[in-house]
Amino acid sequence: MLLTSSWLADLLIVLITISFLTYKYYTRNFYVFTKRGVKHIKPTPFLGNFASVLFFKEHTGEWLMKLHREFDDVPYFGVFIFDVPYLVIKSPEIIKNIMMKDFNHFMDRTSAVSNYDEIQKNAMFFQKGEEWKATRSKLTSVFTSGRLKAMFPILTKNGVKLTEYIKATPGPIELEDMSARYVADNIGRCYSGGTS
């Protein structure tokens, strides 16, 4: 059934309608931060604020650092990765509340790791729901504020030693081996409280 007497006009109407509906779908969340009074950069349709990372103009870390500096005056700000809104929290006090008092409300986070990745799927940062809650409760007793304060000088010293090693080593470095040794050294020293 034709809408008009011309098939070309019908095709044009269908294409315009599909384009409009696609645009509305991908911009449906773009007002979530405005409605809540959260500072954010106006997103681009389909890409959000993620275009520079998507097109390899900057690394994700550089992008986040740039945004962090741009929103220096606020405790949190909003960004869009494609059409999905994300709240980036900068305030240590708010982070503390989320991680300690209100953690039950923040169990499900978006993750890029597939459940088929056997190594990373068990890491706490990539878990969700009850699995995350169970892991968190096990680790809470291990990482008390006193223990973290005791670990900090050890981690700082090992970080300085790693930096010196990298600067002193000419040529390529076997990153996997170096990283494994660094992590194992930190875990061992923090667990035993030893220094060298």
pLDDT digits (tens, 9 = 90+) for 142-159: 778 888 888 889 999 999
> Span 54-70, mean pLDDT?
92
pLDDT score, position 101 = 83
Q: Cβ distance 82 to 44 under 8 Å?
A: no
Report pLDDT digits (tens) over 35-58: 999 999 999 998 999 999 989 999
pLDDT score, position 122 = 72
Q: pTM of the prediction?
A: 0.61
More reliable by pLDDT, 142 or 18 = 18
Report pLDDT digits (tens) over 89-138: 999 999 888 877 887 777 666 655 555 567 667 777 777 778 877 887 88
- Could you say which DSSP state residue 78 is in? E
Average pLDDT value for the chain: 86
Reported confidence tier of residue 1, pLDDT bands at 50, 70, 90 = low
CB environment 119-150: b (16+ within 10 A), e (fewer): eeeeeeebbeeeebeeeeeeeeeeeeeeeeee
pLDDT at 24 over 90: yes
Domain ranges of the chain: 7-101, 107-141, 145-192
> Span 12-28, mean pLDDT?
93
